Chain A
């Protein structure tokens, strides 16, 4: 592949287990669940009454006037982006704005703003619709708002591929840098979908866990007792940078993002291809693009949402993609603790993958009491990774048949 190496120089996150990267990572390592009972009145009639709400309300972190001009998905994105941008060291300068881009994904966008303004329209009339409704509800709103803060003039993008969106942002970030269109890309995903409409709609698809009496045990990827995913909300950002640009300014480098594979199942709008063929190809392409062999991979952060079909199909895909090397790979599901952050999932889990390589430790997968026979080594407690040059994959799949695998390696 192209000679341009792309590295990760900044991280930002706000998640169901922590309001920043440090607290999120520490909670993940200690196996803490961010899922709880929803205490809103609207939850009472829903079949699923649990979710992973953001541990820290973004409205408490951002300046009030700035927060009120953003949909909750934009607020979460902004919190993560400000942290990541500061963490990269670029907040104090060091990047030419015309060489900075943003790729900030969302699965659903600012629909809470859409719905609240529809309420204003029907209850009070067109003059009570907010003039901020459009910039707040448009799916590219978070990306554009971040672009204003970081001064991105090389393009601002919003990949949308359901629950693969966050990973697709990172794949796009790699492309933008390798094509020479940017030196720095603020890449990530955001989602704020804990609201009765998506909970009802995913519930009608029979996609959500109904383990309402045990919220922290409801997200249980690969466990025989799993009964669907648990919705989470949050955002995560990886500041991607060409290695040359990062080295020239002496930036701290967490890991290299080595390559990505994007495929589509062309099988069904909602069900994963049970053969796992599309997911397998995504991982194979990510390896090929990265110049990695299956033997280089020590860790896979799986998509593993805790749905009956998806988890098993993915396990099969991992074995198909890695062959015999799959026996030596430590597999984990971050969602066992955070729930499923939809369009932010790929970004948060890429961040966890980067930190796993950087610190050489994999967080546990919790609630795996009665595992399926997967033929995979799923870490149920914190697991150290070997020394030397190592690499990892992060998988994300989405309704629509989207499969995105991203490969990271140590530097």
Chain B
């Protein structure tokens, strides 16, 4: 299984691809909307890309709980387990 560090790196690459945020800035304590300036449509795209990448399902009603990169990494890590 990928480690949380692996998940963070993969997620950072997705965020860079979709929202243009440099992957190095995608740190666990950063909030997608307020810190990384990811808009709502880009957030949906990031979720869809993460679902494909990690083979998990992230229901729409869970997305609002994924405020920070760390939240998303934890969710994916748990969902993969």
Contact = CB atoms under 8 A, between A and B. Distances in A.
B45 A132 contact: yes
A68 B45 CA distance: 12
A135 B42 CA distance: 12
B20 A130 contact: no
A250 interface: no
Contacts of A132: 41, 45
A65 interface: yes
A195 to B, nearest CB: 23
A130 B51 CA distance: 14
A40 interface: no
B41 A131 contact: yes
A318 B80 CA distance: 71
A63 B20 contact: yes
A330 to B, nearest CB: 48
B44 A131 contact: yes
Interface residues of A, number: 10
Interface string A40-69: 000000000000000000000001110010
Contacts, number: 17
A127 B45 contact: no
A135 B45 CA distance: 14
B41 A65 contact: no
B43 to A, nearest CB: 9
B48 to A, nearest CB: 7
The B contact surface, by secondary structure, is helix
A128 interface: yes
B19 A128 contact: no
B76 to A, nearest CB: 17
Interface in B17-76: 18-20, 41, 44-45, 48, 51
B20 A131 contact: no
Contacts of A65: 18-20
Interface of B: 18-20, 41, 44-45, 48, 51
Q: Give me the 10 closest cross-chain CB pairs, A-B, nearest first.
A: A65-B20, A131-B44, A131-B41, A132-B41, A131-B45, A65-B19, A128-B48, A130-B45, A127-B48, A132-B45
17 contacts: A63-B20, A64-B20, A65-B18, A65-B19, A65-B20, A68-B18, A127-B48, A127-B51, A128-B48, A130-B45, A131-B41, A131-B44, A131-B45, A131-B48, A132-B41, A132-B45, A135-B41
